[in-house]
Amino acid sequence: MRLTARVRRCIKLVGAGICGLLIPLLVTAAIPTAELAKVWQSQENIADFLVSEKLDGVRARWDGRQLLSRSGLVIAAPAWFTDGFPPIVLEGELWAGYGSFEQVSVAARSNSDEQVWRSIKLYLFDAPTLAGSFAARYKQFAAYDQLTPYLRVIPQRRLEDSTALQHWLKAILDRGGEGLMLHRQDAVYTSGRSGNLFKLKAIEDDEARVLAILPGKGKYQGMMGALLVETAAGVQFRMGTGFTDAERKHPPAIGCWVTFAYSGITSKGKPRFARFLRVRSDYELTHGAENQPVGKALE
């Protein structure tokens, strides 16, 4: 009998003790929606968590056949990039090193730039359909590190205390990194915003949907002055900083989701010093650079 390449790869993984999991967890398995992180709360016990570096890449999910964005849109990765990926649901970041977000984001919307894709790897941080705690899942999907030239696993650490956490955060920021992720060791995979997954950054960020494009005044006459946006929690506010002149002339489309940075929350529950960072990359996968004309706020 002639074995397929996928079965041969499965047999090679027997020594890692995970082959038995692969067969029942092919793409027919029910795939939960993405788990989202909350901001780290210092009152949590650090001993309950596994900690990893937060990569500033494009979040992607391998469903066993293709790469998908967080919202389920297809990422047009070249066939050679995913060749040899295992038939199991995996989550990670498409990343090409510090300061590479823009080029990775562009590549995720098109597979035409082969040279850029050669510099990208999928760095795994979870396997949603595996049973058990995060610590148990990590022990299993860690076996995929360097399974192919384009597959890596983000190392998870146990830290002694908050001092060690802050020291590691500083080291990552010093080398151009973004922050840390903390995952409760005994937690099963949970869809949506989770109390089991946290992010720790020097400056926080979040996402909001564009409700309206507000016209500018003075030097911004004829351009966008600010965006009226709303977070997933229903908080509405105006965001008028962080934009280049080119972005003010061609602002993000009404209805799209944007990522913004902020420093704390006001007494009214709104982000303090909100600053535009970028349009969420998976929105651009289908909508490209569509823009709306500057106009009045929506009623």
Q: What is the pLDDT of residue 111?
A: 67
Cβ atoms of 94 and 120 within 8 Å: the answer is yes
Among candidate residues 54, 170, 270, 296, the one labeled active-site is 54
Pick from 1-10, 227-236, 257-266 the range whose average pLDDT is largest.
227-236
Helix (H) or strand (E) segment spanning residue 287: helix 281-287
Which residue, 172, 201, 230, sits at the end of a domain?
Answer: 201
Tell me the two tokens of residue 70. 């967080």
Cβ atoms of 57 and 107 within 8 Å: the answer is no
Provide the Cα torsion 102, 103, 106, 108; round to 10°: -110
Helix (H, G, I), strand (E, B) or coil at 95: strand
180/39 same-domain check: yes
Assigned domain for 296 exists: no
Question: How far apart, in whole angstroms, are the C-alpha atoms of residue 299 and residue 251?
Answer: 19
Helix (H) or strand (E) segment spanning residue 58: strand 58-62
Assigned domain for 36 exists: yes
Flag whether pLDDT at 19 surpasses 60.
no
Q: What is the pLDDT of residues 132-173, one digit of tens each?
A: 999 999 999 999 999 999 999 999 999 999 999 999 999 999
Q: 106 is in which domain, residue-wise?
A: 5-201
Q: Please state, for a pLDDT cut of 70, what percent of the chain lies above it.
A: 83
215/192 same-domain check: no
Q: How many domains does the chain have?
A: 2
Q: What is the pLDDT of residue 112?
A: 66
Which residue, 168, 184, 201, sits at the end of a domain?
Answer: 201
Of residues 280, 88, 62, the one with CA closest to residue 150: 62
Tell me the two tokens of residue 289. 């650079």
b/e code 185-195 from CB counts within 10 Å (16+ = b)? bebebbeeebe
Which residue, 201, 220, 253, sits at the end of a domain?
Answer: 201
54 in active site = yes
CA angle (241, 246, 248) in 5-degree steps: 45
pTM as predicted: 0.69
